[in-house]
A and B are shown apart, each in its own frame.
Chain A
Amino acid sequence: MNCVLPKKIGKFSRHWLILSLILLIPIGNGVFAYLIQLHEGLISAGMRTIGIGGAAWGLNICYYIYFAGLTFGGITTAALARLLNIEELKPITRLAELLAVFSLFMAAPCLLSDLGRPIDGALFFPQYGEARSPFFGTFTMAAIGYFFVSLVYLWLAGREDAYHCSQANLPFKWFYKLWAFGYRGTQEESECHHKVSFWLAFIIVPLLVTATSSLGVVFGIQVGRPGWFDALQAPEFVVLAGISGVGALIFLSVILRALLYAEDDPYKDAISQKSLRWLSNLLWILILIYLYFMVVDLLTSVYTSEKIEKIVTTETIFGVYSHIFWTMIGLFVLSFLILFIQFVLKHYKTALMAAAGFMVNIAAVLKRFLIVIPSQTYGTYLPYIHGHYSPTWGEYSIVTAAFAAELLLFLIFLKIFPIIPLKITGTRPSSPIKPWGKTLRTALFAGTLSFGITLAVLGFLASARIGIKPYMDPIVPWSPVIFIIGVMLSLYSPAIYEISHFT
């Protein structure tokens, strides 16, 4: 059994170093901006009080939703590839998993930088988190669930490659050995991995949809904020997250392909036109669904006699936000047309697919801005003055730093691990699992899963203040942490099954 490793793995070129150093500049700028914000307070941002001329949430929240959306898109694509056994998508599954993990890394600072007291936030939420607050779902399911699922997936799927890297003459051998975690590349291990991947995908796809819906619910159930209060928010969030994730994946895949071609890498043809075609077809379908949602939504708002709802919608379409709205619509429609015409003509251009992937991401950011801001500035029931929001240098710096940090993480990963799953040739050694090993493995899996589910249920019930007054602290201290650990253990149980290979 042998495999070919990517050409430039473990080799840090001068170009790579220069690019990394360039990326450190916006990251440093973002850190500096955040330190100023910590010192001065959120007055350094463009947000202000609702009702007296401002919007209390701004760019950071828009980008938090955006990054969480990328995570959803990434991990769902990877899961679907395994669940539906889509061969075309398999070469980009690792890229999708990385997009998920790194985007969530960036979502966290966006959210934390929006808090008035971030340290207290990090301390108090794990202690006193309220399950009835929509933020509970956001912090636990979306943040921790997404992150952990993506990480488990990335780890399990990468074990085989890590094993082969550990056998090669590469630096960071300890890293590969740690990642491989006892993997020996046997037939049984490989079969077990495919089985686990399938079932993990089967469980996490609905879980991810729930988690993304919880983000939509943050806005959708606010009766006091016209423009937000909408039953379609949750499904719209899911579809928009899918659009931005798939779009980013197409864009990154094209860049990666170009990079591998430039380096004349043995994996330069791994990301085929077929893979990109599959993604671009999925993207135009998602755009179509989203445009349908948007039309239904706007029609309801415009047609309604509800005054404030109408004001928000009118300002969005024809008023102060019209330039953002029409740019967003233009980008969505243009991307759809590019992809759909390619589909009809059966003639695909890589550059056009990449452009569409990029444009839908710009459109998704603009749409998030339109979801978050106009309802705060124009959606007040009482006769307040209309608000205004324009992000400051500090807010732009933090968001730019997040993008730069994500790119840097990709660059680092590119040099230390195969970003495209390795092609393994030859026969695999066989080491059948011992009869007692099977029983022990099942017991460990079942034990972890049931313990995880029990903890999750107990943690949730305690966080929901079941049996006590809603304004009391939870009877079990740190119950949100118990819930999170329960969710994590439940999601980790398939990994336990896979790594418990007793031969």
Chain B
Amino acid sequence: MNMNKIQELWVNVVRGWFLKEKAPSSKFGITRRGAIKILAFWSGIFATAMAVPKASWGFTKNKTAASLKQGHIPKWGMVIDLEQCTGCGGCVMACAQENNIPFARHGSEYEGTQILWMNLINNPDPFPLPCMQCEDPPCVKVCPVGATSINGEGLVVQNYGRCIGCRYCMEACPYSVKFFNWDEPEWPGSLKELLNPSVSTRPKGVVEKCTFCEQRIRAYREECEISQTTMKDEKLQRLTACAATCPTRAITFGDLNDPESEVSKLSESPRAMKLLKELGTKPKVTYLTKQGSVKP
């Protein structure tokens, strides 16, 4: 039902129930029948609102028509195969370009200010480190203003407009994958024109982090809605910028709630391990490795 029809219906309801019946007025300016109708109308609205699951009221962020139609809420996850990873740093570069991450600047005062949504740690073999998108994220619990939250699909997202820059989430994150804009981000010369319009740039004084390329998920979902198709796992596997760029296909993205997806199968592999799982954060990034090769 489009907006015009809703408007038309509303006008008719108002005309019929308020204006017409108001004429043969009682002392309150409304007839008993009219009052019953109004009561019935609002009771209907209330009952409908109660009957519809709260999840679809619109408060739950990013629950789209497509996912609701299928009755399926995805749980986005990632698998990183460390045996495949060559440490080329392609994922780091792709992530920076996709997500408008400002360039690291030279000078001692800029040391320790780099922003790396996808980090590459050598231990001694390299392992890529995005946000773990925990199911029980410590960063969300500590945020005093709700700037860090979990959306309807389980993604830990950052509301830059809400962030007050207290950096408590950075302290709480055991993976240290949250980054603060210590100063105003800058892009040299014409590089500013190459910024990704789908991703907002962040001002100084706010915390930011990897979002599993939420903008790409959104764009693909919209594409599927337009073409009336469902989201395909083959496409999802390489949807994020890091996964799309990885030359050895070491990074796989997908829906952990879909048992047939590649990411679900890989995360069940005997080589699968979760980083610092003993802390109870329930990370949604799984590493595939030989036992004991990652020693945090």
Whether B167 and A121, one on each chain, are in contact in the complex, defined by CB atoms closer than 8 angstroms, is no
A129 touching B176 in the complex, CB below 8 Å, given contacts A57-B171, A116-B165, A116-B166: no
Whether B112 and A471, one on each chain, are in contact in the complex, defined by CB atoms closer than 8 angstroms, is no
A473 touching B146 in the complex, CB below 8 Å, given contacts A43-B183, A57-B167: yes
Whether A121 and B166, one on each chain, are in contact in the complex, defined by CB atoms closer than 8 angstroms, is yes
A103 shortest CB reach to chain B, Å: 21
Q: Which of B134-156 contact A (CB under 8 A)?
A: 138, 140-147, 149-151
Whether B205 and A117, one on each chain, are in contact in the complex, defined by CB atoms closer than 8 angstroms, is yes
Tell me, yes or no, whether B91 is within 8 Å of chain A by CB: no
Whether B112 and A48, one on each chain, are in contact in the complex, defined by CB atoms closer than 8 angstroms, is yes
Whether A139 and B205, one on each chain, are in contact in the complex, defined by CB atoms closer than 8 angstroms, is no
Partner of A117, one of B113, B163, B171, B295: B163
Partner of B112, one of A54, A57, A130, A472: A54
A225 touching B171 in the complex, CB below 8 Å, given contacts A125-B145, A387-B112, A471-B150: yes
Query: How many residues in B have their beta carbons less than 8 Å from beta carbons of A?
Result: 61
User: Chain A residues with Cβ under 8 A from B147's Cβ?
Assistant: 124
User: Chain A residues with Cβ under 8 A from B205's Cβ?
Assistant: 41-42, 115-117
User: Chain B residues with Cβ under 8 A from A383's Cβ?
Assistant: 121-123, 295-296
Whether B276 and A48, one on each chain, are in contact in the complex, defined by CB atoms closer than 8 angstroms, is no
User: Chain A residues with Cβ under 8 A from B113's Cβ?
Assistant: 43, 48-49
Tell me, yes or no, whether A431 is within 8 Å of chain B by CB: no
Tell me, yes or no, whether B187 is within 8 Å of chain A by CB: no
Whether A133 and B143, one on each chain, are in contact in the complex, defined by CB atoms closer than 8 angstroms, is yes
Whether B176 and A50, one on each chain, are in contact in the complex, defined by CB atoms closer than 8 angstroms, is yes
Tell me, yes or no, whether B109 is within 8 Å of chain A by CB: yes
Tell me, yes or no, whether B204 is within 8 Å of chain A by CB: yes
Cα distance, A43 to B110, chains bound together (Å): 8
User: Chain A residues with Cβ under 8 A from B115's Cβ?
Assistant: 49
Whether A223 and B121, one on each chain, are in contact in the complex, defined by CB atoms closer than 8 angstroms, is no
A382 touching B121 in the complex, CB below 8 Å, given contacts A41-B182, A225-B171: yes
Q: Which of B95-151 contact A (CB under 8 A)?
A: 109-116, 119, 121-123, 129, 138, 140-147, 149-151
Interface centre among A57, A120, A133, A471 (most CB of B within 10 A): A471
Partner of B206, one of A117, A128, A132, A223: A117
Whether B171 and A376, one on each chain, are in contact in the complex, defined by CB atoms closer than 8 angstroms, is yes
A329 shortest CB reach to chain B, Å: 26
Q: Which of B161-192 contact A (CB under 8 A)?
A: 162-168, 170-177, 179-184
Report which A residues bind B (CB closer than 8 A): 40-43, 47-54, 56-57, 114-118, 120-121, 124-125, 127-130, 132-136, 139, 218, 222-225, 376, 380-384, 387, 468-473
Q: List 10 A-B contacts (CB under 8 A).
A: A42-B165, A42-B205, A43-B110, A133-B141, A224-B138, A224-B281, A225-B174, A470-B149, A472-B59, A473-B146
**10 closest cross-chain pairs (CB), A and B:** A116-B165, A224-B174, A48-B112, A116-B205, A51-B176, A471-B149, A54-B112, A121-B164, A135-B144, A53-B112
